[in-house]
């Protein structure tokens, strides 16, 4: 799933960077999305909280984020770090007691609060003790209205003015004379579109489960709890454990029983299978088969080379190698989002280490690059016939496992 946002800088009076405003977008077209404000706010917060993190979008810089009336009352700003955001109350929000209480709570917790496109109304005076920044739309606010705002905030010297939609040098100079401290608009920079790949909460949950299974000593209690708390995962695990490929005669009735019966290696494979299926939704099934085939092939080559301690990581190297094709995103960017070891990431992205060579051998077989296959087999001290037989086994294995899940 791709995440889009427009990012426009907000500057100090000396034109040095103060912050960015982040605006939700739903495509590569830098236009207002065709969704309501509540949905836009929810999608922005969810993407920042569960996937991207503000550090990846705006390192060491504040982010102004628009919040609607409902999202403020529901406490959405509290899901993001107070050191990194400015809570921007949209101009469509109507003041009231519930909103005031929400602002008081945010200020107690140390958040910076801004009023967007402000036109002075007496009722907002109750909010001034908790407001840090007032944004003035320079194209929509008259000279008289600006003077009215300046007069109203005089008893509150901590409130700073931000002039937005500044389009000319003359407007910038005039806003300076009004006493504005911060500036935003086309005169300085147009909004820049950002595209990033966002992982859904369910994808992240399975990724964490997979990372736990890759440990030398996985925490089986945590793994059991993860399955028991998700009905869909529980169903799939029980169904997989009783698949005909295992030829079991005894009925499996509980999650713990399924985990014990499968054993650590097969459970790891099952979690990896779930991961691949989750990430390849909407893609050809062949992509999932190839991913699983590579995983098992890397695993078989590791066993062949008597490196049993590296079996789990080798499996992941093969499994994750096609993640960029599944999500239509940069592989290095995706690796940074996953809770896996640096060695696995380097094997996939930089093609460093012996496990990376196992992955490349699989790719050479897939593409029929026979001279490269022969060369790499010699480098790895792997018999060609054995390497080819393992490649065929891995393909059959992948198809069987995918059938067991569907």
Phi-psi region for residue 100, left (φ > 0), alpha (ψ -120 to 50) or beta? Answer: alpha
Q: At residue 245, does pLDDT exceed 80?
A: no
What was the pLDDT predicted at 30?
Answer: 40
pLDDT above 70 as % of the chain: 88
What values do phi and psi take at 112, rounded to 5?
-90, 135
Q: For residue 157, what is the domain's CATH number?
A: 3.20.20.450
What was the pLDDT predicted at 56?
Answer: 61
* Number of domain units in the chain: 2
Instruction: Report pTM.
Output: 0.56
**Within 10 A of 197 (CB to CB), how many other CB atoms are there?**
18
Q: At residue 258, does pLDDT exceed 60?
A: yes
**The last residue of a domain, from among 197, 212, 245:** 197
pLDDT band per the 50, 70, 90 thresholds, residue 316: confident
What was the pLDDT predicted at 247?
Answer: 73
191 plus 208 within the same structural domain: no
DSSP assignments along 46-95, one per residue: HHIIIII-HHHHSTTSEEEEEE-HHHHHTTGGGGS-TTTEEEEE-TTPPP
Q: For residue 249, what is the domain's CATH number?
A: 1.10.3210.10
Q: What is the mean pLDDT of residues 352-373?
A: 94
Q: At residue 32, does pLDDT exceed 60?
A: no
Q: Which of 43, 38, 139 is nearest to 90 (CA)?
A: 38
187 plus 262 within the same structural domain: no
Q: Using N-to-C axis directions, what is the helix angle for 285-304 and 311-320, rounded to 10°?
A: 150
Domain hosting 244: range is 201-405
205 plus 83 within the same structural domain: no
Q: What is the mean pLDDT of residues 239-257?
A: 78
177 plus 39 within the same structural domain: yes
What was the pLDDT predicted at 301?
Answer: 96
**Within 10 A of 252 (CB to CB), how many other CB atoms are there?**
20
367 plus 275 within the same structural domain: yes
98 plus 228 within the same structural domain: no
Looking at per-residue pLDDT, the higher value among 271 and 43 belongs to 271
156 plus 207 within the same structural domain: no
Which residues make Cβ contacts (< 8 Å) with residue 46, sequence separation at least 6? 201
271 plus 399 within the same structural domain: yes
What was the pLDDT predicted at 369?
Answer: 94
pLDDT band per the 50, 70, 90 thresholds, residue 135: very high
Q: Which of 83, 82, 92, 7 is nearest to 44 (CA)?
A: 7
What was the pLDDT predicted at 194?
Answer: 65
What was the pLDDT predicted at 196?
Answer: 60
What are the distances in angstroms from CA 261 to CA 220, 237, 397? 13, 11, 19
Q: Which tens digits make up the pLDDT trace of 49-89?
A: 555 556 666 778 898 999 999 999 998 898 888 998 999 99
Q: At residue 33, does pLDDT exceed 50?
A: no
Q: At residue 137, does pLDDT exceed 80?
A: yes
Across 269-351, the runs of DSSP E, i.e. the strands, are: none
Between CA 24 and CA 136 the distance in angstroms is: 21
**Within 10 A of 319 (CB to CB), how many other CB atoms are there?**
26
What was the pLDDT predicted at 366?
Answer: 93
**Within 10 A of 334 (CB to CB), how many other CB atoms are there?**
20
What was the pLDDT predicted at 28?
Answer: 45
120 plus 264 within the same structural domain: no
DSSP assignments along 27-52, one per residue: SSS-S--SS-HHHHHHHHHHHIIIII
Q: Which tens digits make up the pLDDT trace of 153-188?
A: 999 999 999 999 999 999 999 999 999 999 999 888
50 plus 171 within the same structural domain: yes
Looking at per-residue pLDDT, the higher value among 345 and 243 belongs to 345
Looking at per-residue pLDDT, the higher value among 19 and 45 belongs to 19
Element counts in the chain: helices (H) and strands (E):
18, 9
Q: Which tens digits make up the pLDDT trace of 195-224?
A: 666 566 677 777 778 777 777 778 888 888
Which of 38-47, 120-129, 160-169 shows the lowest mean pLDDT across its residues? 38-47
Q: Which tens digits make up the pLDDT trace of 272-314?
A: 888 787 777 777 888 888 998 999 999 999 999 988 778 888 9
pLDDT above 90 as % of the chain: 47
Element (H, E) at 255: helix 255-279
Between CA 98 and CA 100 the distance in angstroms is: 5
pLDDT band per the 50, 70, 90 thresholds, residue 46: low
**The last residue of a domain, from among 146, 178, 197:** 197
Q: At residue 2, does pLDDT exceed 60?
A: no
Between CA 202 and CA 132 the distance in angstroms is: 37
Q: What average pLDDT is seen over the chain? A: 85
- With b meaning 16 or more CB within 10 Å and e meaning fewer, what string describes 14-26? eeeebbbbbbbbb
Q: What is the mean pLDDT of residues 139-157?
A: 95
What does DSSP assign to residue 191? P
373 plus 291 within the same structural domain: yes
Q: At residue 31, does pLDDT exceed 50?
A: no
């Amino acid at each position: 799933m791709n995440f889009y946002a427009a990012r426009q800088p907000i500057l100090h009076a000396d034109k040095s960077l103060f912050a960015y405003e982040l605006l939700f977008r739903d495509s590569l077209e830098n236009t207002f999305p065709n969704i309501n404000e509540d949905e836009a706010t929810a999608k922005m917060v969810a993407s920042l909280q569960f996937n991207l993190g503000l550090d990846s979008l705006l390192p060491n810089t504040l982010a102004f984020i628009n919040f609607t009336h409902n999202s403020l009352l529901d406490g959405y700003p509290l899901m993001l770090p107070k050191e990194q955001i400015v809570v921007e109350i949209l101009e469509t929000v109507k003041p009231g007691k519930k909103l005031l209480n929400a602002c008081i709570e945010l200020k107690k917790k140390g958040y910076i609060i801004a009023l967007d496109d402000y036109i002075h109304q007496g009722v907002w005076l109750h909010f001034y003790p908790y407001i840090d920044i007032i944004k003035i739309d320079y194209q929509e606010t008259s000279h008289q209205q600006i003077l009215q705002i300046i007069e109203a905030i005089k008893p509150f010297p901590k409130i700073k003015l931000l002039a937005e939609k500044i389009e000319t040098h003359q407007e910038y100079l005039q806003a300076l004379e009004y006493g504005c401290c911060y500036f935003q608009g086309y005169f300085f920079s147009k909004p820049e579109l950002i595209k990033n790949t966002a992982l859904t909460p369910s994808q992240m949950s399975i990724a964490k489960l997979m990372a736990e299974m890759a440990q030398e000593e996985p925490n089986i209690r945590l793994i059991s709890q993860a399955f028991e708390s998700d009905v869909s995962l529980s169903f799939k695990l029980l169904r997989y454990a009783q698949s005909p490929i295992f030829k079991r005669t005894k009925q499996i009735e509980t999650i713990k029983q399924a985990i014990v019966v499968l054993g650590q290696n097969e459970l790891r494979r099952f979690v990896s299978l779930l991961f691949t299926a989750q990430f390849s939704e909407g893609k050809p099934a062949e992509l999932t088969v190839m991913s699983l085939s590579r995983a098992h092939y890397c695993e078989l080559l590791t066993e062949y080379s008597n490196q049993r301690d590296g079996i789990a990581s080798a499996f992941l190297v093969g499994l994750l190698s096609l993640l960029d094709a599944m999500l239509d995103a940069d592989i290095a960017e995706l690796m940074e989002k996953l809770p896996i070891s640096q060695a696995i990431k380097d094997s996939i992205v930089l093609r460093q280490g012996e496990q990376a060579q196992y992955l490349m051998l699989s790719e050479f077989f897939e593409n029929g690059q026979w001279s490269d296959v022969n060369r790499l087999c010699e480098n790895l001290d792997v018999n060609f016939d054995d390497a080819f037989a393992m490649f065929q086994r891995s393909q059959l294995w992948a198809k069987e496992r995918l059938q067991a899940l569907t």
